[in-house]
Amino acid sequence: MSTTTRSGVSKRKKLPACDYCKAHRVLCHPQIVGPCPRCEEKGVDCRTTPVTRRKRRTKAELVQSKASSNSFGNDAASPSLSSSTNTPGSAQFIEPILSCGESSSMVIMHPQDILEPINLDEPTPVPPTLQMSSEIIEEFMQMPRNAPYDSHPIRTNPFISLSHLRTKLQAHSWDLCSLTPQERVLTHCLLTLLALHSTNPSVIGPGEVSEEGRQFFFTVLPLKTPVVPDLREYGFRREGVVRQLWAESLWLANQEGVATNTSKENAASCWILGYLRHVILGKGASAYSAAFVYHMRTLAEEGKISTMSDDLLKLRGQMIGDAIPALMAGKNIPLTLNDEFLIVPHKPDSLEHLIDKFTTRTCTTAEIFHSIHTFTHNIICLSRETVEHLTGAYARSQPLDECFLTKHFASLDIFHSFLSATLRQIKLQLVPSRSTPQTMYYLRVCSYGLSSSWGSLVLVLFELLRDRSLHSTARVDNLDDGNCGNFSAGISAEMSTRRLSVHLHHARKLVSRTAVELTETTRDTPSIARLMPPKDLARWARFLLAEENIVDISRAQCTQALECIRDVFKLLGFSYADRTGIIEDIDERLASYAVDNMLTQLRQQDDVWLHESTGYPIVNTNSDWLGLEVGL
């Protein structure tokens, strides 16, 4: 074919996906004539709505737009969040959020077009442009009230007075301008967090919402349902609106100086901003987390923190929420020992005393809840020691302190004995004849909180030893044995590597058993809001997906643990966009396990048939050889 002929052939342009496939986030095969195969199979009307792409703005236009946005009530084009169902090509503009001036110009924009392509880092602060109707604000502020008990994370923070904000907003027709500047910043942060669980079409875009998607957040024991629905599409659909609200909250927080001006409202705003960074990005110990600790310390010094037992337990929970993310990220714990006792002036009992009490008699629920003070104190101390001596930025640059590591393992063994005794006591109380439904709910919350905090501690330790072992092995391999000077260094490095492998094997066995215990308590979690963030959960999945880590547990236990993690990811995908690919990796591993089991059963049947027909003895099946055979 000549050049002229080849250039004259034009490529056929790919047809756009239909509305049904686009709403369900599945691959579409559009046809020139007639419906696509999926719509034809489902029996739905195959329609394709034309999409007009916006012109990409130049860098100069972006700089000019940012410079002109110098106030809350700027006149820039404002996207809207309306309580009514927005169809493609239409939007309703009611009142700009946090704007007390004149209304903005009416420019149509869909929630999907709010941001540039999503990145995986914290959004850049931008002035508020989203508009929310009074109906949307009222709906959002009522969400925590409708949640059973304290299942919503907002209700677990003692500094957030939702009833005060609701009363003040309701008296002024849900007008955000009726609030003080600090209250407006807090409300904007609250709306960002509440948008993670909303099913309103203005947040997740047009399209049907299944009944599971509407009710799962308020369902008690959701992981014990016969079939766990896959809700990941909603996390992607809401991502643009959530990140826009988050970016605006950061801008407002910077304008009002919530990190430096101490008040309960600012403390709550800092906690929400740090919480968002942890649950969405999997990053801990942010500047706002440190600011929240600073506010707690200052409020405690001024005597402005409640001393009620329920609030003190919530504050203990907030301390764990600051320590564990920092531990998982390898950052310094922002909470000192003096801060801990200043904020919660409660002297915890010794672990040995509680272990003796919990193993010799049946305790009451009040004694179990009282032991949370001891648990949080010890888990924070162990986390701080781990960061300072093992996983912190400075500790990673130093040689491994084996003396401390040996003592640390002994402390972990004692703490695990206390954890096991406490979980047994909780299990004894989880019967209707001993506890009310509300008490059983909080006991399950404690059970999962204890297990997940302990699991984070041992998982981080294992990952550190694994990385050090890989580095040490590579160093030994690179030494030149022919040089006399390097010979002695090689012997020393090899001995250090062997000692490190012993510690690594101990940690691997500990984490394997912990993974099984953690997933068992996860199945009994009373609310999805209490589960660990997807990024932290993915680390557990990757641990179980590595075959060399399956020690001290059976194949059946590993299978059940992976199935539990897969179900959690399906539900957490309702709030967070899942880009980990963990569900597909787990399904692939479970399929290989199923093939192994089938081959084992067939081989056993062949052995029985051979024994009955010839009288030869039955040979035991080698599961390792079977796994190799399947891999080949």
Cβ-contact 28, 38 below 8 angstroms: yes
What is the structure's pLDDT at 412? 93
Q: What's the fold here for domain 12-50?
A: CD2-Gal4 (4.10.240)
Q: Note the Cα 305 to chain centre separation in Å.
A: 29
22 or 619, which is more confident: 22
CA distances, 362 to each of 354, 368, 428, 439 (Å): 12, 10, 8, 17
Phi, psi (degrees; rounded to nearest 5) at 8: -80, -15
What is the structure's pLDDT at 119? 54
| Lowest-confidence region among 205-209, 534-538, 586-590 | 205-209
What is the structure's pLDDT at 225? 83
User: Whole-angstrom Cα distance, residue 131 to residue 92?
Assistant: 9
| Lowest-confidence region among 380-384, 556-560, 595-599 | 595-599
Q: Which amino acid does the sequence have at 12? A: R
Considering 220-224, 362-366, 619-623, the range whose residues carry the highest mean pLDDT is: 362-366
Interval 103-109 mean pLDDT: 31
What is the structure's pLDDT at 330? 85
With cut-offs at 50, 70 and 90, classify the pLDDT of residue 206: confident
What is the structure's pLDDT at 629? 38
What is the structure's pLDDT at 59? 58
**pLDDT > 70? residue 488:** no
**pLDDT > 60? residue 292:** yes
| Lowest-confidence region among 12-21, 35-44, 53-62 | 53-62
**pLDDT > 90? residue 451:** yes
Q: Please write the tens of the pLDDT for every residue from 524-582.
A: 988 887 888 899 999 999 999 998 888 889 999 999 999 999 999 999 998 899 988 99
* Antiparallel, parallel or unpaired: β 131-132 and 80-81: parallel
With cut-offs at 50, 70 and 90, classify the pLDDT of residue 224: confident
Nearest to 442 by CA among 154, 151, 218, 162: 151
Residue 101 backbone zone (phi > 0: left; psi -120 to 50: alpha; other: beta): beta
| End-to-end alpha carbon distance in the chain | 45
Interval 13-36 mean pLDDT: 81
| Lowest-confidence region among 145-149, 195-199, 319-323, 435-439 | 145-149
Q: Please, which contacts does 461-465 make with residues 24 or more away whose CB atoms are closer than 8 Å?
A: 461/386, 461/390, 461/391, 461/408, 461/412, 461/507, 462/504, 462/507, 462/508, 462/510, 462/511, 462/543, 463/539, 464/390, 464/391, 464/396, 465/500, 465/503, 465/504, 465/507
- The SS3 of residue 214 is helix
With cut-offs at 50, 70 and 90, classify the pLDDT of residue 213: low
What is the structure's pLDDT at 471? 81
Considering 14-23, 49-58, 82-91, 174-183, the range whose residues carry the highest mean pLDDT is: 174-183
CB neighbours (10 Å) of residue 216? 22
**pLDDT > 60? residue 4:** no
Token couple for 13? 């342009």
- The SS3 of residue 80 is strand
Interval 163-186 mean pLDDT: 88
Q: Please write the tens of the pLDDT for every residue from 52-104.
A: 555 566 656 665 665 554 433 333 333 446 443 333 333 332 233 334 433 33
Considering 133-137, 285-289, 536-540, the range whose residues carry the highest mean pLDDT is: 536-540
What is the structure's pLDDT at 612? 65
What is the structure's pLDDT at 148? 63
With cut-offs at 50, 70 and 90, classify the pLDDT of residue 628: very low
What is the structure's pLDDT at 138? 86
What is the structure's pLDDT at 61? 65
- Mean pLDDT for all residues in the chain: 79
With cut-offs at 50, 70 and 90, classify the pLDDT of residue 491: low
Interval 137-157 mean pLDDT: 75
pTM for the full predicted model: 0.76
Q: Note the Cα 362 to chain centre separation in Å.
A: 35
Q: Please write the tens of the pLDDT for every residue from 310-360.
A: 888 888 888 888 899 889 988 888 888 999 999 988 888 888 899 999 999
The pLDDT > 70 percentage for the chain reads 77
CA distances, 314 to each of 149, 150, 408, 590 (Å): 14, 11, 28, 39
Q: Please write the tens of the pLDDT for every residue from 268-284.
A: 999 999 999 998 888 87
